[in-house]
Structures are given as C-alpha cells and as structure tokens.
Amino acid sequence: MQSWPVPAVPAIDVDTPEAPSALTVHDTATGGLVTAGPAEGTATMYVCGITPYDATHLGHANTYLSFDLVNRVWRDLGLQVNYTQNITDVDDPLLERAARDGLDWRDLAASQVDLFREDMTALQVLPPDAYVGATETIDLVAGVIEKLQATGYVYQLDDPQYPDWYFDVSMDPTFMDVSGLSDDAALARFVEFGGDPDRAGKRNPMDCLVWMQARPGEPSWPSPLGTGRPGWHIECTAIALDTLGATFDVQAGGADLVFPHHEMCAAQGHALTGAPFARTYLHSGLVALDGEKMSKSKGNLELVSRLRRGGADPAAIRLAMLGHHWRENWEWTPDQLTAATERLAAWRAAASLAATLDVTALVTEVRRAMRTDLDAPAAIAAIDAWVGASLSIEGDDAEGAAVFTRLTDSLLGIKL
C-alpha cells in the first residue's frame, strides 16, 4: 500500500563528540535501558499500525510521533533505516463500524487510511518504507500458518461449524518473555483484548486465533487452511518477518499492545525461525481525555484532523505532544496547544535572527537528550533556554539560526 510523502530531513552537520554515540531506550522486556540499533549500517523497526475504522486521535498520533523520534535519532547517528508499519484493514471493529453505518468495509478502510496519511504528513512523521495492509498479505499469512502447522505449533479445532486454527502458546519457551505478566494478569488482559479462553477444544486458555473460518456476511479468502481470514497477531508476525528478516531491532507500539499482541508476535516469530523476534520492545504511553484513556469505543477523542480544521498549526500540535516523555501516560488539555503555539512562535523568532548565541553546545544537549531514552522534554527545555538567551542577548554566531532550524527539523520534526 502506498505510504505518505517523505519530508526532507536536513543533516545537522555539527560535530558533537560529547554526545552519546548510540541510542539507548527503555526496553519493556528487560525493564531497563538498552542500546537500540546497530553501530553502523541499517537499523530495522516494526511499528504496529492502525485498524482504519475512524479518524486519527491524539493517542494514535502519540505512538507514531514517539517512534518517529527513534527513526530520526537513528538517521542523525548516520544509520540507514528500514521501517515497516502494517494496516489491519480487515478486523472486527472495522466490519462492525461499516455494518453500523451502512458502508462497504473496503471504502471505510480506504477513507480512514487516507485521513491517517494526511494527519501523519501534517505532523511531519517520517513514513515507513513498507506500509502493508493485512488484505495484501493473505497468502503470505496462510503460508506462515502452514509452516507452524507442520511443526505442531498450530492446531485446528474439532468444531463442525467453525474449525478455526490456533497457536499453542505452551509450545514456545519464550512466551511471556516480553511482558513478564503473571498468569492471572495475562488471562485478564487476554479477555480484555478479545481473547476466548473458554472456547471448547482449545489446548490452553490463552492460545490465540491465527485463522478464522468464514462467517456469514464477513469477508473471507480461500486458503489451504479453509476459506477465512487471518487473526490479528499472526498478521504482524508474518509481515515483520517478510519485510525485516528473522530478527529485527525494534518492535514498537502503544503500551496497550504489550500483551497479548506483542507477546504473541514474539512467540510466533521465535517458533517460526528459532531466533529472537525483536531485539528490543518499545511501548509508548497512553493519552487520556476527561480522565480516561482516549478510546474510539468510549468516544472521548481529540482528533488530529479536527484540531487542524480548527486552525491549529500542525507543528504546534506535534510540539505539544513532544512536551511529554514518550513513555509517560498523560492527559490532553487545550492549554497544552496554547503553550506549544507560543513556544513555536518564540522558536521561529530565534530562527529569523541574523546572529544568535553559539549553537554547538545546544546541538550537543539536544543530541544527548534524544539519544538517552528519547527525552524530548529535556531537549525542548534546552532549546527554550537557548532561544530565550538568543532573543535577549546579542549573539555573534551568523550560522546559528540556520543550524538551529536544521536541529529542530531533523531531531524533533519541528519545521520552523
């Protein structure tokens, strides 16, 4: 599927030997800071994409901005980046919304993918290299399930009506290595995210669906497993392995994907290759509105497109979100956009100066912050201090404004 336009990312071209020489981030699986990405060459990342049944809200945008920072830091370190994102363009929520509103599910998905692309373009999010819809990979996923079937990792229910296929989580020794949840906590999460622990014929309560046989009135595709469609977790497993290889650097998504989604992907990937699925697991914080996590099902949403239509500068929207650490759970309030708009105006004023204070120390501080667990709030604080001083004290760095403009664009995605 077509990605969105690639914004230009300028090189900063300033030597900062005092800044860290690699990106360290908080890894969910180990619970501590780890180095993400290779020392040289190509870094690889998979970020779980949208189910396109409604517009992009700030919770979604927060996820993609968080991992856009990973992409930008890697590039600033001189690495190439191979980045994949999927689109779950056939799933129960999409089908339910289409049925509710009398829409063709394909048309609904296409319209929401288009809106997502527009929002990401406006927010200066670097696009994935591979942007892959589930409906484009039916044969790929079916083939992956057949491989698992040959080794006994998947089994078919003895159900005369719907003989679906399941992945046996007990067969893979790495299952639960990502989340580290207790059995009781994992089971509760499994149910919360649509799992079916009580279904008759399953070997284990948390075995996950990999191929669902066709249901009346729902889309389906022919395959050696029967006419049907893939489950959610196996879709991402198959796409990641196909585009990034047996082991890649980062699997990322919102904190609500740790279990069961990323846990299941990791176990399935290991079962298929015998190698670790991802080296590092990153999970961004969740965004609330009116005291509760933003949720399409609850309707407590602030939409990127609605803010844009209301006249908000997309750079200010992005800057407001970057004011929160990527792992932080936080609540959106309108005053954050007001503050970010004022901050953006000050930054743009500094970018228009004929001469500024020396900028090299600022570049070092911003690189240090961003390479140390993507600390955008610390980078913003350093920029605020430099901007305030440059606007109040006459400087003599004639190249300072140009370097500053490249710095905010390249590492924070804020185009001045």
The tens digit of pLDDT for each residue in 223-266 reads 999 999 999 999 999 999 999 999 999 999 999 999 999 999 99
Token output for 294:
């933003």
pLDDT digits (tens, 9 = 90+) for 1-34: 889 999 999 999 999 999 999 999 999 999 999 9
Give domain status of residue 16, yes or no: no
Q: What is the CATH number of the domain that holds 393?
A: 1.20.120.640
Q: What is the pLDDT of residues 210-220, one digit of tens each?
A: 999 999 999 99
269 vs 265: CA distance, rounded Å:
6
Same structural domain for residues 251 and 344? no
What pLDDT sits at residue 154?
A: 98
pLDDT of residue 54: 87
What pLDDT is stored for residue 294 in this prediction? 82
pLDDT at 185 over 90: yes
Instruction: Say if residue 136 is in the same domain as residue 221.
Output: yes
Res. 295: pLDDT tops 80: no
The predicted pLDDT at position 6 comes to 94
With 80 as the cut, is the pLDDT of residue 71 above it?
A: yes
What is the per-residue pLDDT for 144? 98
Residue 10 lies in a domain: no
**What would the pLDDT profile of 390-410 be if each residue is shown by its tens digit?**
999 999 999 999 999 999 999
Q: pLDDT over 90 for what percent of the chain?
A: 96
Cα gap 213→221, rounded to integer Å: 9
Task: Give 300's pLDDT tier (boundaries 50, 70, 90).
Answer: confident
Average pLDDT over residues 151-180: 97
Q: E strands along 72-150, which residues?
A: 80-87, 130-133
Q: How confident is the model at residue 44 (pLDDT cuts 50, 70, 90)?
A: very high
Span 80-91, average pLDDT: 96
Question: Are residues 82 and 187 both part of a single domain?
Answer: yes
Q: What band does 55 get if pLDDT is binned at 50, 70 and 90?
A: confident
Which residue bears the tokens 């009135």?
Answer: 217
Residue 293 confidence (pLDDT): 83
Instruction: Examine the domain organization and report whether 229 and 180 are in the same domain.
Output: yes
Dihedrals phi, psi of 14, to nearest 5 degrees: -130, 130
**Rounded distance between C-alpha atoms, residue 130 and residue 87, angstroms:** 11
User: 400-407 vs 360-371: helix axis angle to the nearest 10?
Assistant: 10
pLDDT at 134: 96
Neighbours of 356 (CB within 10 A): 26
Angle at 290 between CA 286 and CA 296, to 5 degrees: 60
Whether residues 282 and 317 fall in one domain: no
CB atoms within 10 A of CB 172: 19
Residue 401 is predicted with a pLDDT of: 97
- Structural domain includes residue 4: no
* Gap between the Cα atoms of 249 and 15, Å rounded: 26
- CA 310 → CA 104, 113, 115, 307, distances in Å? 29, 21, 16, 5
The answer on pLDDT for 299 being more than 80 is: no
Instruction: Name the amino acid, one letter, at 131.
Output: Y
pLDDT at 414: 98
389 and 247 fall within a common domain: no
Query: What pLDDT shows up at residue 347?
Result: 98
Within a domain: 170? yes
* 302 in a structural domain: no
Work out the mean pLDDT of the chain and round it to a whole number.
Answer: 96
**Residue that is last in its domain, among 289, 322, 340:** 289
Q: Mean pLDDT over residues 179-194, rounded?
A: 96
Across 106-114, average pLDDT: 95
| Band of pLDDT at residue 178, cut at 50, 70 and 90 | very high
The Cα 29–Cα 392 span in angstroms is: 46
Residues 50 and 136 both lie in one domain: yes
Task: Give residue 45's domain range.
Answer: 23-289
401 part of a folded domain: yes
Last residue of a domain, one of 289, 320, 348: 289
What single string gives the DSSP state of each residue in 227-284?
SEEE-HHHHHHHHHHHHH-SSEEEEEEEGGGIIIIIHHHHHHHHHHHSS-SEEEEEEE
Structure tokens at 48: 């779980």
Q: Which CATH number characterizes residue 213's domain? A: 3.40.50.620
Burial call 173-196: b when 16+ CB within 10 Å, e when fewer: ebbbbbbebeeeebbebbeeeebb
Is 320 found in the same domain as 230? no
318 and 278: one domain? no
182 within a domain of the structure (yes/no): yes
Q: What is the DSSP string of 4-27?
A: -------------TTS-SSEEEEE
Tell me: pLDDT of 384 over 80: yes
Question: Could you give the number of structural domains in the chain?
Answer: 2
Q: Is residue 101 part of a domain?
A: yes
Q: Read off the pLDDT of residues 263-294 as tens digits, 9 standing for 90 and up.
A: 999 999 999 999 999 999 999 999 999 888 88
Q: Phi and psi at residue 189, in whole multiples of 5°?
A: -65, -40
Q: How far apart are CA 5 and CA 25, in angstroms?
A: 28
For helices 138-150 and 232-244, give the axis angle rounded to 10 degrees. 100
